[in-house]
Structure 1
């Protein structure tokens, strides 16, 4: 029996990071699963990770029910009650259903804690103890603890006693342990034929097997009060796989890429000529016949990057992850030229000072107007490869150095603050860093609201944030915008139909202060759902100001990942949706959002890792 509270699916996402976290889990299913499927045709399936409840909590004498809000987390719904637990207790979980793969069982806890560093978990069927570690007070992330090996071989009938023992951060202070939910679940990945329109026509054959599909309305888990009525849950699944045993990866990759480019929705916005792109890509594919899959991927990606330059349309391959391209130099655009901002190699650091301008890389002259991405393509090499660099130092002296790429470079902590980093800048201002928008964001924000609301200004740093989950973004905004609001507008890819998405007012007591002022920090790598946050806060939260040294990325679309049968190659694409996302009925694709206050970066020390001129000017206003 399936419990809807436990069911997880691969949903609409706006950041490829989320899909990448899921894809490795699916590879075994893609490569070895699916017995009985017809492989004589090119079929596309969507993948769903479903979670069956095995045991669930039935509170006993050791807990006291109380009114207590828990924020929703991914597809875990918001709760309005919790249970006050002793620091050392046993929770009896009642058997909910039997499953075959008990070795895959995961224990999930939704917890709010104060002064607890860790919880020791022990199951009666095993003497082994597991640890759940907490890094701060507040709502903890219900990521789950693998307990399958503790259950395998034991008595799986009847109640399951789970012993919980809390350890304090400070032994001299009291602990608080509020338990919202507790259950044992078992995960499984299933595959289903995709109803997406492009797969109903050649070279795909989904139309031959999708006639009897039952489609359900899109489910926003209570976040939206309006969404286009015709959109279906099954078409929104982001993780897709192709099955066809009669074609090799190169042929499937080429056919799929051409079909997606034929359906690509942003030719006008990116000032591209569709017929020319299709012709050039077809010619490129024809000339890769003798290349390996890895070489073909590299060749096609170079074309996509140089001609389309859309971060939501690219080919991924295990080749790139097996042999990563890297550089010991971090470069940024400073006052109109690309300069060295940081050196991550101890020996090279003494030879190439920050602020140096790169003149040549392995003999290739670097133009004065070269972009950061162009310079990085020349700098990044495989481990062991040699690079000869000619540069002009800040003192005006030209020099040349030769070095080899190391196996790995460690990014200095000051180059990118940790996701959800939080600190108080002064008595009136707090700082909050968002590197990605996922289920953790609204939960973490809710935990920090008391501290955030103790100051009148909140700096939200979205620099480098490539986006994330639409629903998580909507939940986060609902903690700041205290009313229903229009999240974004939509226009049909094929036709002139328009619609919009409306977010429900959040009934939970997680509210940013009404008189608070928000400062947003952005850069050219701020994209997707992060751009939605900017637009909505500027529109619905009075006094919001945007600061940055440049406009945002201008890449706002719904993303899917299509895996090839080899399990090693795939395409990330924004060419499968029925709608294009608009802000105030206008597209920002390729143009981005311009800051209210543009800060001129005149030297390397003005950059974020050092003096951070953008932040300093923003908080001085």
Structure 2
């Protein structure tokens, strides 16, 4: 058979080849970067003031990554009861350097006793930069690290008692004024006080993921010996990468078409390297084929919005992994915000043992019509049996408790018809979404400490932020006076692993192995080992009871499993297993506003004795049965009650 080609076919083929070459060149020019802070000129350094002596006996805890603790402090303000003459502190620097807009930073690592407000002023060249800092908790504080030119600018001295003399007008002056209860002794102690220039610099990301995704030359990985915390004795390079580079930005993307090509290649690489196909019982071949079919179907730049929507749906529905998802939208795909369409929930429903109940009413107009604990028979004419089977297809009817969300969040102009079974029989209630919602008040913020019944220390953590360690240390004396510690991690979906490591260091009394990870080259395993804190510690015999639920995930699960393995007298109390979602997450940010969150840079965590916990979670040592909504938090809270009696 003779095959002939006309000129038009050659032209089309040529255009296609040129397009492919251009696309490949554009992709190869894409550079993944991260931002790191670089400290430059120092205007003022308290440590170099020879007239001030540092005192031992302190423990200023680490806060940021790559930061160490300090055991000495300089007292700036100290007051005896009813004596406030020393509430002012000031010093000067003869530096010739000038403060710069957007880069000059005030940094102070400090602790306070009986001080409720600190006013800080920085003066130079006739201008006063001033800010008031309100102290909410006594003890060691979260370090101040702020751009000075973002503070209030004043032409007159905002701290008149800290006088600036004519001969000092050419100097840089730092002054502070503290306010407290005059009847009590007070003091302000610092470990560091710096005024310096700080800029954000771009650094290249060195990771084999991008070598594969962007088809760049394979880089050689050197042995990594510097960890991001002195708490860590050994770990892996990829964990230190996560500490520095959890947010990665792509530059060099010249147009939207190139950006979408890079996005699809990065997701292709993620699907190839996804570590949990076995644990989540996923068919890798089927999912990759479905993905390829999807991106081929929407390969036109005019279909970008549809492609992004379909990719979001594909990742969400197929993987059901909160660490693997596509977020945000390109500018042309964003919808204008419309508060009238924002979903609202005037009531909360819970599924308990295969039945649906009213758990909370947020619109007081319906508090009597929808009594707490009422059984819901139907929603908008659909039976709850049908709705529950669709929402929870794999849930067992017995010993199952879960909040029900499907179809009850609607915009302000909408309504829902509930058929509820009350004490006087079935009742139809039409709930409108246009009212004012009053949510039940509870503990605010990320961290909460209190001493409850019978001298029990109770700490609630809603997220593993870096301030957890500092705040826990401030409460450590009261915790050690208590007969046991309850750690409430219900709903805690994770956070910074560094926060976990630091808190664990207070609870273990020896070098402790947490887990192993497989190296990037797949040739060996890296053990993550932390050391015990030599200066602050929870007493060894104290019982620790950890409260969890199905939303206790990631860093929280790492903490629980490591604590159980390395310490006696630890029990987990919950209604069910924890989430079973443990991985380091990296966010790849595209110029258009899309973010691809994934857990494909690092390998799975292997815990001693139990192995990988992905999609399994941690089983409670004491399993609590929920029999009615009144057993839930914030009512009787039988999980907490169980911890109090065990």
Is the structural similarity TM-score above 0.5?
A: yes
* Secondary structure of 1:483's aligned partner: coil
Equivalent pair of 1:74/1:472 in contact (CA under 8 Å): no
* Secondary structure of 1:539's aligned partner: helix
Q: 1:425 aligns with which of 424, 433, 452?
A: 452
The match for 2:589 is 563
What is the TM-score with the length of structure 2 in the denominator? 0.80
Report how many residues are paired.
574
The match for 1:388 is 416
The match for 1:142 is 143
Equivalent pair of 1:51/1:185 in contact (CA under 8 Å): no
**Is the counterpart of residue 89 in structure 1 residue 89 in structure 2?**
yes
Greater radius of gyration (CA): 2
Distance 1:547 1:320 in 2: 44
What's the offset of the Cα at 1:282?
3.3
Distance 2:95 2:361 in 1: 57
The match for 1:160 is 172
Q: 1:368 aligns with which of 376, 388, 393?
A: 388
Q: 1:261 aligns with which of 256, 263, 271?
A: 271
Distance 1:111 1:321 in 2: 44
Equivalent pair of 1:523/1:552 in contact (CA under 8 Å): yes
Going from structure 1 to structure 2, the CA distance change for 1:357 and 1:449 (only over 3 Å counts) comes to same
Distance 1:355 1:85 in 2: 57
The match for 1:607 is 632
Equivalent pair of 2:130/2:151 in contact (CA under 8 Å): no
What's the offset of the Cα at 1:452?
1.0
Going from structure 1 to structure 2, the CA distance change for 1:315 and 1:350 (only over 3 Å counts) comes to farther
Q: 2:317 aligns with which of 306, 310, 314?
A: 306
Higher relative contact order (CA 8 A, sep 6+): 1
What's the offset of the Cα at 1:348?
4.3
The match for 1:335 is 353
What's the offset of the Cα at 1:464?
0.6
Equivalent pair of 1:297/1:317 in contact (CA under 8 Å): no
Distance 2:603 2:168 in 1: 47
The match for 1:525 is 551
What's the offset of the Cα at 1:259?
2.5
What's the offset of the Cα at 1:368?
3.4
What's the offset of the Cα at 1:473?
0.9
* Secondary structure of 2:34's aligned partner: strand
What's the offset of the Cα at 1:192?
2.8
C-alpha distance after superposition, 1:524-581 (max 9, x if no partner): 1111111111112212221111101111001110110011121x21111101114544
* Secondary structure of 1:368's aligned partner: helix
Distance 2:212 2:96 in 1: 43
Distance 1:235 1:292 in 2: 36
What's the offset of the Cα at 1:134?
0.9
What's the offset of the Cα at 1:340?
3.2
**Is the counterpart of residue 223 in structure 1 residue 234 in structure 2?**
no
What's the offset of the Cα at 1:158?
8.2
What's the offset of the Cα at 1:253?
3.5
Distance 2:222 2:521 in 1: 24
* Secondary structure of 2:358's aligned partner: strand
The match for 2:193 is 182
The match for 1:66 is 55
Distance 2:277 2:70 in 1: 45
The match for 2:426 is 397
Segment drifting more, 229-238 vs 334-343 = 229-238
For structure 1, the 5+ residue unaligned runs are 1-37
Distance 2:242 2:547 in 1: 36
What's the offset of the Cα at 1:472?
1.6
Going from structure 1 to structure 2, the CA distance change for 1:181 and 1:559 (only over 3 Å counts) comes to same
* Secondary structure of 2:533's aligned partner: coil
What's the offset of the Cα at 1:457?
0.5
What's the offset of the Cα at 1:592?
0.3
Segment drifting more, 84-93 vs 176-185 = 84-93
C-alpha distance after superposition, 1:148-172 (max 9, x if no partner): 256999999986321011100x221
**Is the counterpart of residue 276 in structure 1 residue 286 in structure 2?**
yes
Q: 1:582 aligns with which of 604, 607, 625?
A: 607
The match for 1:245 is 254
Distance 2:304 2:370 in 1: 37
**Is the counterpart of residue 52 in structure 1 residue 39 in structure 2?**
yes
The match for 1:7 is none
**Is the counterpart of residue 171 in structure 1 residue 182 in structure 2?**
yes
**Is the counterpart of residue 597 in structure 1 residue 607 in structure 2?**
no
Equivalent pair of 1:492/1:579 in contact (CA under 8 Å): no
* Secondary structure of 2:450's aligned partner: strand
* Secondary structure of 1:452's aligned partner: helix
What's the offset of the Cα at 1:185?
3.9
Distance 2:440 2:321 in 1: 28
What's the offset of the Cα at 1:256?
2.7
Equivalent pair of 1:494/1:578 in contact (CA under 8 Å): no
* Secondary structure of 2:71's aligned partner: strand
Going from structure 1 to structure 2, the CA distance change for 1:494 and 1:65 (only over 3 Å counts) comes to closer
Q: 2:70 aligns with which of 69, 79, 83?
A: 79
What is the TM-score with the length of structure 1 in the denominator? 0.83
Q: 1:441 aligns with which of 468, 488, 496?
A: 468
* Secondary structure of 2:388's aligned partner: coil
Equivalent pair of 2:546/2:570 in contact (CA under 8 Å): yes
Going from structure 1 to structure 2, the CA distance change for 1:151 and 1:306 (only over 3 Å counts) comes to closer
Equivalent pair of 2:480/2:538 in contact (CA under 8 Å): yes
C-alpha distance after superposition, 1:79-111 (max 9, x if no partner): 111011223111445759778x54333312111
Going from structure 1 to structure 2, the CA distance change for 1:559 and 1:117 (only over 3 Å counts) comes to same
Distance 1:176 1:167 in 2: 10
The match for 1:10 is none
Distance 1:553 1:426 in 2: 30
